[in-house]
A and B are shown apart, each in its own frame.
Chain A
Amino acid sequence: MHEYSITESILSLALEKANEAKAGKITRINLVVGELSGVVADCVQFYFDHISKDTAADGADLSFETKPTSVRCHKCYNVFTPKDGDWSCPECHEIGIDIISGRECYMESIEVE
């Protein structure tokens, strides 16, 4: 979903950070992407290879750390990852949760020469 505009944001943020550090070539960009974020890594890589040409990020590897959806039960505070569309608590079997992770889409770090 919106991988092109997300990729543009990734590229411009990486270039900005490399510039601030007066660094040279960016060799790797480390990203954290949650299961619920809707971001598809292959699409991002595809667009990135295209738009990073002739920039300091040309040829950089994109690394995607996937965070699974993690929710907390309202009743017993058990933290779990829903499976097969079942969001009820595997401990107390109650329904009602808060989503605590899985929506992320952030840049952890970049590696530069």
Chain B
Amino acid sequence: MAIKVIKVGEDILGANEEKARTNKQQLDKNRVFTINIMSSPGAGKTSVILSTINRLKDKVKIAVIEGDVASSVDAEKVSKLGIPVVQINTAGGCHLDANMVESAFKNLPLDETDLLFIENVGNLICPNAFSLGEDRRIMISSLPEGDDKPHKYPAMFADTDVILLNKTDLQPYLDFSFDDFKKTVTNLNSDVTIFPVSCKTGEGMEAWFSWLEGEVESKKGQAA
């Protein structure tokens, strides 16, 4: 029987990209500066969010979407600070996707929000392939993970806009070389901004807070 070739030319992961685009439209309409925070488990995503809320909440209206496989431990910590938060449980899924994030929007006061944190599932691989509608991707990398992680997870490090290099207070106990880390990252991503910080001691955090305030201001000033 004759074989016919049908051209398709379609992205297999296209459905998520399309949903991410409509998410971004909704967030842009409300001028919400939106950050997708990614890291391996335990690097400090929640700690960074909680520190930032404590520092900026009197000046900036913040909301949070928490993504975890199970439990609402992180959302409860955010809620205690009086911040609107939605917990998404993926029930085994290893990343948030744009559909899940859209479903959280109806439970958040987007029209009264300046800054939205989306805390992704702890994972250095899968979240990278799934846009959510964010303005910026932020990675938390931490000193105990080692300075060679950019070699091992190039896609994640190549795509991020900002890296918070956390737990600098542990430098005396580790063989972490900041110069090696920075060289490896900028090799993959010359535009990245790196903030060495310690959430625990507060070291370096002011630079991150200033950067973030500037981005929120810019977003508020943009035409919808």
A residues with CB within 8 A of B: 1-2, 6, 9-10, 13-14, 17-18, 21, 23, 27-28, 31, 36-38, 74, 85-88, 95-97, 99, 103-113
Q: Report yes or no: B6 in contact with A21, Cβ–Cβ below 8 A.
A: yes
A-B contacts besides A21-B4, A21-B6, A107-B12, 6 pairs, CB < 8 Å? A1-B125, A6-B13, A36-B154, A103-B155, A108-B9, A110-B6
Given contacts A1-B125, A36-B154, A95-B190, is CB(A109)–CB(B12) below 8 Å? no
Q: Is B151 part of the contact surface with A, judged by Cβ < 8 Å? A: yes
Are A105 and B13 in contact (CB-based, < 8 A)? yes
Question: Could you tell me the distance in whole angstroms from the C-beta of B19 to the nearest C-beta in chain A?
Answer: 13
Within 8 A of A (CB), among B57-95: 94
Instruction: Please report the C-alpha to C-alpha distance between residue A18 and residue B219 in the assembled complex, in whole angstroms.
Output: 45
Is B51 interfacial (CB-CB < 8 Å)? no
Complex contacts, A37 vs chain B, CB 8 Å: 129
Q: Which residues of A contact B7 (CB under 8 A)?
A: 108-109
Q: CB of B158 within 8 A of chain A?
A: yes
Contact call B4/A112, Cβ cutoff below 8 A: yes
Q: Categorize the interface residue count of chain B.
A: 20 to 34
CB of B203 to closest CB in A, whole Å: 27
Residues of chain A within 8 A of B10, CB atoms compared: 13, 106-107
- Contact: B155 with A38, CB < 8 Å? yes
B 113-160 contacts with A by CB, 8 A: 125-126, 129, 151, 154-155, 158
Q: Given that A38-B125, A38-B129 are known contacts, is A107 also in contact with B5, CB under 8 Å in the complex?
A: no
CB distance from A105 to the nearest CB of B (A): 5
Q: Which of A14, A88, A95, A113 contacts B1 (CB 8 A)?
A: A113
